[in-house]
Chain A
Amino acid sequence: MNRLDNIVSWINKLELKDLQKPLSKILVHKLNIWLSRVTIDEDLLNQVWCIKHAGYVKISYLEAFSKIQNKEYRSAWNDLVDVEVMSNNLLRLMSKDYQEKLGIINILNISQQLMEMIVADKSRLIFFSAEIKVKYYTCSICGLQFKRIPHCGHFPGCLYSGKFCKSVAGESEIIGASHVRSPRRKKCLVTEIEGIPFNKLFNFYHLDELMKGLSSPLQNWSIDNDIIVKDPRGDRRHFSIQPFNKTIYNKRCVLKLKERRYFENYEPQAISTIKSNGSLKMSAVLFTN
């Protein structure tokens, strides 16, 4: 087993109790020590970038899990979004061998399931997403400015000698903001509607029950889709707010939301079962209109 495999094994062994340590710093330190002992080439640097970010995926996932246990659901949501974004990059950039060794697909699947559980009541799942006018972008590798396609030979989303290429938005301006079901940036989840805070906006009973039943953060489980009640009111609705103004937003959106009957008194109608692939079974209250 080479030293890089040792680091992979260290990432795989990370547990909730390790979160007390500065895990990100330890991971970077370990990788730097390893890099100081080998001959560096572009492929190797790219591989190290992937392993470092696989480590971040695991750490972010454990942090999200711990936050859900502590009922910090909104903050956990942000960590799970980070896990989703980083995992999707790793699925494109990392070798299949390391993807399997580090269980990236498994972590991504469980994270997405947890996200589903956090916002189980889809009728209240609304994102407030901005539309932005960008004058130019800059290549994060070489700093070249461009309007549409970078002509420096670096392409956003690719790795160059252990550096991830991004097109960084230059001069920008918010030109509007909308409520959407499927936003570009998932962190913009609406966290308070008409004074109802996030922890009361959604029902976390079933998620809390799941947490009690899981023996480890990476234990597999699944939702019985036959029992989940689907939102019958379509998959997307958005309300354009132009110009962007918080006061107008508050007035208009709340009115629209009221019209759309988002604020009905939801009554639990079904007692359901969430199945795991092990012996875990529990009851959960699902909400429907």
Chain B
Amino acid sequence: MTFEKIKDIAVKLGINQSELNSILQSNDVILVPQFRKNVFAYVDTQNSIASYLNTNNIKVGFIENDDVETHELFHDWRDIGTIVISVAVLPLVINLISSYTYDAIKANKNIKIKTTIITIDKNNNIREVIEDFEGDVESFNKLIKNIGNE
């Protein structure tokens, strides 16, 4: 998902450019809702990772209005959706996501991850670092460790 698509989602939810910028600048991590079953919704795994990051003092924001729903998934994928991470906290968030997925794999070795990761700096420069990843935890952790080392 490109950043233009995130802007589109914001517009569809009635969030204008300045409100979106404010959400982006005032949070360390932004989770983007998904279009499922004809509505915008966050899935339970997105809420779960948001809680996990929040526990570890990362400020998490959501692009939403009152109509955005929450869906509890039927399958055991860890669907994190699109996640926008501020460059300032990138290494820390990468470590936290890695330990979150490590905890998940302890409960079920066959767990799959689905996500897109975008970074944003203080000048609103956007970079898509992981695009539409869908795979096992081991490959995902290898990928995100490379991002952390860059």
Contacts and interface: CB of A to CB of B under 8 A. Distances in A.
Interface of A: 84, 88, 91-92, 129-135, 147-150, 155-156, 158, 169, 172, 175-178, 180, 182-184, 235-236, 238, 242
Nearest to A150: B51
A113 B112 CA distance: 21
Q: Chain B contact residues (Cβ within 8 angstroms of A): what range?
A: 20 to 34
Contact of A183 (B42, B44, B70, B76): B76
13 contacts: A129-B74, A129-B75, A133-B41, A133-B70, A134-B44, A134-B71, A135-B70, A149-B47, A150-B51, A175-B37, A175-B71, A180-B74, A180-B75
B103 A134 contact: no
Interface stretch (B2-10, B12-20, B54-62, B124-132): B54-62
A224 to B, nearest CB: 18
B26 interface: no
A133 B68 CA distance: 11
Given A131-B73, A176-B37, A183-B76, 4 more contacts: A91-B106, A150-B51, A176-B74, A178-B74
B135 to A, nearest CB: 12
B69 interface: yes
A88 B107 contact: yes
A155 B42 CA distance: 18
Secondary structure call for the A interface: mixed
Contact of B71 (A132, A147, A235, A236): A132
Contacts of A175: 37, 71
Secondary structure call for the B interface: mixed
A235 B74 contact: no
Contact of A88 (B50, B72, B106): B106
Contact of A155 (B55, B69, B75, B112): B55
A132 B47 CA distance: 14
Nearest to A169: B72
Given A148-B42, A149-B60, A155-B55, A130 B74 contact: yes
B74 A92 contact: no
Contacts of A134: 44, 70-72
B110 interface: yes
B77 interface: yes
Contacts of B107: 84, 88
Contacts of B108: 182
A132 B41 CA distance: 12
Nearest to A134: B70
Nearest to A180: B75
B22 to A, nearest CB: 18
A149 B50 contact: yes
Given A133-B70, A149-B50, A150-B51, A183 B75 contact: yes
B13 to A, nearest CB: 15
Given A169-B72, A184-B76, A92 B103 contact: yes
Q: Counting chain B CB atoms within 10 Å of each CB, which of A148, A150, A178 scores highest?
A: A148
Contacts of A177: 74
A156 B51 CA distance: 8
B6 to A, nearest CB: 18
Given A88-B107, A92-B103, A235-B110, A184 B74 contact: yes
Nearest to B47: A148
Contacts of B47: 148-149
B54 A149 contact: yes
Nearest to B60: A149
A135 B55 CA distance: 23
Contacts of B60: 149
A148 B69 CA distance: 10
Contacts of A242: 37
